[in-house]
Structure 1
Amino acid sequence: MKLSSSDVNPIATQEALMSAEIGKTAKIVRFHQTGGAEVLQLDELAVPEPGEGEVRLRVKAIGLNRAEVMYRKGQYLYEPKLPAKLGYEASGVVEAIGAGVDRAWLNKTASTVPSFELTRYGVYGEVAIVPAAALAEYPSTLSYEEGTSIWMQYITAYGALVHFGRITRGDFVLLTAASSSVGLAAIEIVKAEGAISIAATRTAAKKAELLALGADHVIVTGEEDLVTRVNEITGGKGARIVFDPVAGPGLEVLAKITAIGGTIFEYGGLDPKPTPYPLFTALGRGLTIKGYTLFEVITNPEAFPRAKQYIFDHIAAGDFKPRIDKVFPLSEIVAAHRYMESNAQIGKIVVTV
């Protein structure tokens, strides 16, 4: 689905004309009301100048994330300020810098780390203003599409599994929604640490691909009983770590298959139904149920550099390779969001500019 000229917002166009003294415009994706993917539109705006501590990135590729769908719907951690930009991850070339920014960043290829609030910044567009502190270089062997598919997925998985979970050789790790980009990153990290991954997916359509991508075991929850299969795989011990973005009533089932003294990391709320706390199961098994986001790593001055180095090194060594599921042009941003909501992808959805 391509956006036609009628999709360009007249108010946004007027804003651009009023700023004509800058002499340049760029297409920026914004939404003027919350709702379905159709609220996304290409607004023609004056090319912005970076402020203190900021840079302007000439965007080449954008990595989509589930958080952006929730933000667009008004269901994220904070409410959008309309008209709102969106987008955490982009790769491109730094073409302008603001005061206080190291000039060495000029003309460098970099990608953005999701370390800012969407109410202040967004990267969907031909250019993006971002904090210089949110930039990170990536191995030059990667394409722009791969470069924008790194930080959200690998830092999210690293923080839970390595920084907090401290997985080690022989640990059983259950990964729900395993075909997502974060799920695939988790599979690679579990393997790198010598642990054993149990990937859960709803349909058999993704089983072979998950095995090919390195999962040690795959459970098709639409056809197999999760409790029975986890107990078979773990010899009745359960998974020491559960990494789950779904939540909802299924948390009670996850608690039953978590090992005594184990930890469940809840890093999302894909199930819109309430998430009851499984009190008696948690008491009986001594469980830790932790709400978690990657911001716990990014805001930690010691953990964040370690996370970036860990990911960079494993990518450079070939241990980690971001998987691109499908690529859309910027003009088809509505279709790209609809595809994400279909849950058909295995890996990252990327938009090119």
Structure 2
Amino acid sequence: MSRVVVFDEFGGPEVLRVMDAPVVEPAAGEVRVRIEAFAVNPLDALMRSGRSPAPVPLPHARLGVEGTGVVEAMGADVAGLSVGAPVVLAAVPDAHVRGSYAEHVTLPARQVIPRPAGLGIAEAAAVWVAFSTAYGALVEKAGMRPGDHVVVTAASGAVGRAAVQVANRVGAVPLAVTRHAANADGLLDAGAVVVVAMDRENVVAAVRRHTGGTGADVVLDLVGGPGQADLARAVRPGGTVLAAGFLDPRPARVPTSPVPTTALPVVAYRSFEHTLDPAVVRRMAVFLDDGLREGALRPVVGEVFTLDDVVQAHRHLEKGLHGGRKIVVTP
């Protein structure tokens, strides 16, 4: 048997419970991974509370789109992996069925990658979602180039910090947007060239000032909601606004100032459009390995909980006590 976190109704962290479930043998093309650690992401809280962008069937729904562990068993027709190999989960699109909040998970072999060298278990559990989302949005989707001015909202969060590092790695100029000036020093340490604190200055005016009046080339909006219209005004003609987050559940509003819609496309981005593409995952893995080896990329881990304390881990997330650092749970 394997211990698995499930929930039978939508609600607060208290709906989560740990139960015993049969260990699933891998079919052809699948591997079973013994999970050593998994990370808690905002998407997990949305799924648990019933606010997920995709429907979550109940009861016995699972959680978890990120984790690391060791290959424990393999089905037929699996190449490039071996029993005992340390891996990272690269995609769990059906987290309500195969979520990583468990001692074991069985999934297609194409959905795991070798664990990057030099990472501890907690870091390996927390590295993939943030950096694959940032890389996929900025490099694969927006075509970010050296010298581009890139605005990152919710920059003090895990994906935001990863996006700042990815932009630096490519040679772009990251402008980090955060709600509070108290976050500025941490973002500058993470590599932001400019930090725009919303409690002190207007985002559009600040971006225009720091780009010589031209506007940003790319905006990675990890918040959503009505503020997205203002971000569109901070982009140069021909630039791109990437809508990649849903921290603000309110609908976006239409910009009040005249903006040519053909010049400022708002492009929706969801990471699974790339993390389910083996060719893109290979590029992501090489980019991540190189950046980690050279010290240009690094996940930031906060509290580490045990599986029995998964409810407390979710409360920690919802209270904002993690300070943008990834929360990790070890089975």
| Residue 149 in structure 1 maps to residue 108 in structure 2 | no
Rounded Cα–Cα distance in structure 1 between residues aligned with 2:80 and 2:247: 41
**Contact 1:97 1:103 survives alignment (8 Å):** no
SS in 1 for 2:98: coil
Question: 2:35 maps to which residue?
Answer: 59
Aligned counterpart in structure 2 of residue 91 of structure 1, from 59, 68, 71: 68
- After TM superposition, the structure 1 = structure 2 runs for residues 84-233 of structure 1, keeping only pairs within 5 Å, are 84-102=61-79, 104-233=81-210
Q: Which is further off, 250-259 or 222-231?
A: 222-231
Question: 2:325 maps to which residue?
Answer: 347
Question: 2:284 maps to which residue?
Answer: 307
2:306 is matched by which residue type in structure 1? P
SS in 2 for 1:321: coil
Rounded Cα–Cα distance in structure 1 between residues aligned with 2:258 and 2:102: 47
1:284 to partner: Cα distance: 6.5
Aligned counterpart in structure 1 of residue 268 of structure 2, from 291, 300, 303: 291
| Residue 30 in structure 1 maps to residue 10 in structure 2 | no
TM-score norm. by structure 2 comes to 0.93
1:294 to partner: Cα distance: 1.3
Q: How many residue pairs get matched?
A: 329
| Residue 245 in structure 1 maps to residue 210 in structure 2 | no
Q: Deviations over 1:223-280 (max 9, x none)?
A: 2221222122112111110001211110111011111111000012111211124386
Give the 3 Å change call, closer, same or farther, for CA 136–171 of structure 1 in structure 2.
Answer: same
List runs of 5+ in structure 2 lacking aligned partners.
none
Rounded Cα–Cα distance in structure 2 between residues aligned with 1:279 and 1:99: 58
Question: 2:305 maps to which residue?
Answer: 328
**Contact 1:110 1:137 survives alignment (8 Å):** yes
Aligned counterpart in structure 2 of residue 42 of structure 1, from 8, 18, 39: 18
1:47 to partner: Cα distance: 2.6
List runs of 5+ in structure 1 lacking aligned partners.
1-24
**Contact 1:256 1:281 survives alignment (8 Å):** no
Rounded Cα–Cα distance in structure 2 between residues aligned with 1:260 and 1:320: 31
Rounded Cα–Cα distance in structure 2 between residues aligned with 1:315 and 1:42: 34
Give the 3 Å change call, closer, same or farther, for CA 145–241 of structure 1 in structure 2.
Answer: same
Percent identity over the alignment? 36
Give the 3 Å change call, closer, same or farther, for CA 332–205 of structure 1 in structure 2.
Answer: farther
Runs of 4+ in 1 over 4 A off after TM superposition: none
TM-score norm. by structure 1 comes to 0.88
SS in 2 for 1:188: helix
1:101 is matched by which residue type in structure 2? V
Q: Deviations over 1:83-102 (max 9, x none)?
A: 11110111111112223334
Rounded Cα–Cα distance in structure 2 between residues aligned with 1:69 and 1:281: 37
Rounded Cα–Cα distance in structure 2 between residues aligned with 1:301 and 1:135: 10
Question: 2:255 maps to which residue?
Answer: 278
Rounded Cα–Cα distance in structure 1 between residues aligned with 2:194 and 2:208: 12
Give the 3 Å change call, closer, same or farther, for CA 44–222 of structure 1 in structure 2.
Answer: same
Question: 1:8 maps to which residue?
Answer: none
**Contact 1:115 1:298 survives alignment (8 Å):** no
**Contact 2:219 2:240 survives alignment (8 Å):** yes
